Chains A and B, each alone.
Chain A
Amino acid sequence: MSNLSDRSTLPAEPLPPCQVACPAHTDVRGYIHAIARGDFEEAYRIAREPNPLPYICGKVCAHPCETECRRGDVDEPVAICALKRFATEQHDLSKGHAPGLTVAEPKEEKVAIVGSGPGGLTAAHDLARMGYKVTVFEAYPKVGGMMQYGIPLYRLPRETIDLETAPLKDLGVEFVTNQRVTDVDALLADGYKAVFLAVGSHVGRKLRIPNADLPDVWLNTEFLRRVALGEKIDLRGRHVLVLGGGNVAIDVARTALRLGAAEVSMTCLESCTTQPAHPWEIKEAVEEGVQMFHDRTFKEIVAENGKVKGVRCVKVNFRGFLPTGAPDMDEFPETEHVLPADLVIFAIGQGPDLSFLPQDGSIAQTPRRTIQVNPVTLATTKPGVFAGGDAVTGVGFIIDAIAAGHRAARSIDAYLRGLDPASVQPPEPQKLNDLQQKTISHIRHLKREEMPMLDVNQRKFTFDEVYLGYTEAQAIRAAHRCLTCGAGARVEETKCIACLTCVRVCPYEVPLLARGTANVPVDQCQACGICATECPAKAISMKLYSDEDMIKQIRDAVRKAKYNGEPAIVGFACRYCAYAGEDANVVKASLPANVQTIDVLCTGKVDALYLLKAFEFGADGVFVAGCLEGECHNDKGNVHAAKRVAYVKGLLDELALGNARLEMFHMSPDQCANMAEVVSTLITKVKELGPSPVRRS
């Protein structure tokens, strides 16, 4: 009892910055580590858990996690988003869309959700799993919100949306499409016990400048929606100028290119360094031929006889927006000029269409003309009505809307059960501190894997998907770059005897001695596991694996390796290097059935005990496969492993079992592909020695 209460007072573990930055708090580290180990199904499971739309997010998530990724302080951030995509691509859908997630007993209450964007879909998903009867109303013919009617196809093929939304129907969610909700009170009157408004931000805005109303002056959202709805817009020979510099503006420009526009340019207030679109989006647009004109304000659409001729601009030094919403800038005199164009598309932001809200003001709005909510519970000013997503925040990201959907679902459930919705929202997680310079200096630099893309000349004329996704070898290399932040060594203080071993062996100089015991600062540990294997008091455990797991794996491996009377060989292969970016499964498949490998992330994690255990369980031969000296991911993990192998060889001699049964292979990349060949040298030696005399009774 006392133990339990003690534990509840412990501060929550700080989470890796990627997980904190992710609005849905996805266990990024967890799925990346699973990919690194080669357990792709587990990766999918972890990625799917907090996110009903992992396929979509894997392709187009704005990934704020990567901006925060601590690998970025070493070299470049981990390719978190691309790895999620890889996990979804590996997932076997026959295993179910949401493996491991349960559905509660059906409940009586009906819930209405207005809008089928990511916010609405997530709330529907969660509430349906809780057993509620959920109806989603959608104004357009297809579900998906901005994902369906905003994001261009070359970034998000619509099959991905279909694939992701179909399972919601299986959960019993009812979709009423082509149905714009105009009366919220009517829904409540209709027996819906709660309503979630996730109507997005779909109304594009124009500046009030002369000639903005001409027919050849378009709006971002409308344009994209028309394209998405399948309208054939022919822009061949047109000169398109997009006003605005954000991600939406880029989508508009690149879409215009694909519709045949002869020239596409963009202009915005910001400079090339402050332009709000993601740098990679800008880069890809420029590659495709979009021209950028920065530092400009727009004065007038220049027209002749109702035909657009261009936009009159003035050069400015834009510093940001004032609280009033007005730009803070100075115009440079005598810089007026006309950027030529015959079609102008405004892409300077959009707001929600709130015309459907009750006229009595019972659902209040903010001065920014978004729906006003309690930020913790997402409750609007009308009881039973909640709102979230872009309709509340203005245009955000899919993952923000997903997080809002979860939040709303928790609140609605609480509300329907008569609880305070505020009481069911989890506290904001605590974030790991930054890496210290000292730690960074010991971390090996690893190049970020380039995302394979369609060739620029090929892609700019079609709506084919630009990103192609990682190969398995790439994904594994990309996953190996993750520092598994915060998932490292834990010292059990009651067992630590302050022998200083960890302090002395840590390649990253992380452990310290504090108050008489060792302490591994969770925000610096790189989870190499060397200290845990070396600690003579067994006071250190690792978050992502344990001796018990390993010993179980060893037992299984020995059992499997006993095959056809051939010597049973168990190998510990470093995932970082032993397969050297080869497809591990191919390498493993090339090994005979009597050779079973156990994957480890760095041979530094291979305890001398594991080697002995393999023999204790009856293995005839054991090997450890790591990289060449000097190449170790963790500086000297392979050196430690080699020393342990030498030590256990000594024990094997003392036991008269023969040291030749155990081998350490330091493999160069070309040897890795031929692991079978390398291992055959061990098999030959083991055959000479004969079967292990260790026979279990």
Chain B
Amino acid sequence: MIKAQQKPIAEIKALIAPYHRILILGCGTCVTISFAGGEKEVGLLASSLRIASAMEGQDKIFAEATVQRQCEWEFIDAVAEQIQQADAVLSLACGIGVQALAERYPDKVVLPGVNTTFLGMAVEHGVLVERCRACGDCILGLTGGVCPIARCAKNLLNGPCGGSQNGKCEVNPELDCAWQLIYDRLARLGQLDRLAALMPYKDWSKDYDGGPRKIVREDLRL
């Protein structure tokens, strides 16, 4: 799922500085699961911002709400009234939710309260890791099910760089070297010969280099 992280309070304070009535709008899906923007986080942030406002002698008003999925207009509309009443909406959804709000309410100031960080999973409670870069051209079938685009700091396609040491990445010794993982997986699967094949240049046009991407399923369109 999409993983996100709340922005530092100072940044959020600066974002909301010009506004008086602020709706803090959480999202009940991915950002809830990544402990960044669900109902609980909305409550914590609202309380923090009330403290900040009181410390500065302001009397900002913070409303709290959480919708099931901010990336769908139908769900956002459930809190239409609260949105209308606010001077600005501080969205704790991922960037998609923030933009869905902005598109749905063209006259409303919409501010992001989280940094949408990556596509990933929890490897243990409280530890979220990146797993996919949405490159648009999946090669996991060639790499033993470990993605070198998302998990190798240099997105190398033909094996580890010279910095791989003890299975760890040179960029961050806390991270596993993706190519070590690929090597180990392929070794287990008896497919090490795969590593001999030269992997061709990646077609980055399927990634963001091709411009904003779009999927159209003609069969589904109404």
Contacts and interface: CB of A to CB of B under 8 A. Distances in A.
Question: Would A and B touch once assembled, by the CB under 8 A criterion?
Answer: yes
Contacts of B122: 500
A83 interface: no
Interface string B7-37: 0111000000000000000001100110100
Interface stretch (A190-198, A272-280, A612-620): A612-620
A68 to B, nearest CB: 36
Nearest to A653: B9
B148 to A, nearest CB: 28
B47 A612 contact: yes
A678 interface: no
A369 to B, nearest CB: 66
Contacts of B9: 651, 654-655
Contact of B8 (A499, A613, A654, A696): A654
Contact of B48 (A535, A536, A612, A693): A612
A650 B143 CA distance: 40
B189 interface: no
Interface stretch (B52-60, B160-168, B170-178, B197-205): B52-60
Contacts of A657: 51, 55
A609 B39 contact: no
B217 interface: no
Contacts of B159: none
A536 B55 CA distance: 27
A308 to B, nearest CB: 76
Interface residues of A, number: 27
B38 interface: yes
Contacts of A495: 28, 39
A654 B44 CA distance: 13
B50 interface: yes
A651 B7 CA distance: 12
Contacts of A609: 40, 43-44, 47
A104 interface: no
Contact of B47 (A501, A505, A536, A616): A616
B51 A612 contact: yes
A615 B55 CA distance: 11
B97 to A, nearest CB: 15
Interface string A486-512: 000000000101011100110000000
Contacts of A694: 51, 54-55
A421 to B, nearest CB: 49
Interface in A220-250: none
Contacts of A651: 9, 44, 48
A337 interface: no
A544 interface: no
Interface string A599-636: 00000000011001101100000000000000000000
B32 A537 contact: yes
A609 B47 CA distance: 8
Nearest to B39: A538
Contact of B40 (A538, A615, A695): A538
B24 to A, nearest CB: 13
A609 B29 CA distance: 21
Contacts of A4: none
Given A608-B44, A609-B43, A612-B44, A538 B51 contact: no
A536 B39 contact: yes
A501 B10 CA distance: 28
A656 interface: yes
Contacts of A615: 47, 51
A659 to B, nearest CB: 13
B52 A655 contact: yes
Contacts of B8: 654
A209 to B, nearest CB: 73
A615 B43 CA distance: 14
A631 to B, nearest CB: 22
Contact of A537 (B40, B52, B55): B40
B40 A616 contact: no
Nearest to A648: B44
A697 interface: yes
Contact of A654 (B10, B28, B33, B47): B10
B54 A536 contact: no
Given A609-B43, A655-B52, 14 more contacts: A497-B28, A497-B29, A499-B33, A536-B35, A536-B40, A538-B40, A538-B43, A608-B44, A609-B44, A612-B47, A613-B47, A651-B44, A656-B55, A693-B55
Interface of B: 8-10, 28-29, 32-33, 35, 38-41, 43-44, 47-48, 50-52, 54-55, 57, 59, 122, 125
| Nearest 4 Cβ contacts at the A-B interface | A612-B47, A536-B38, A654-B9, A538-B39
Interface of A: 495, 497, 499-501, 504-505, 535-538, 608-609, 612-613, 615-616, 651, 654-657, 693-697
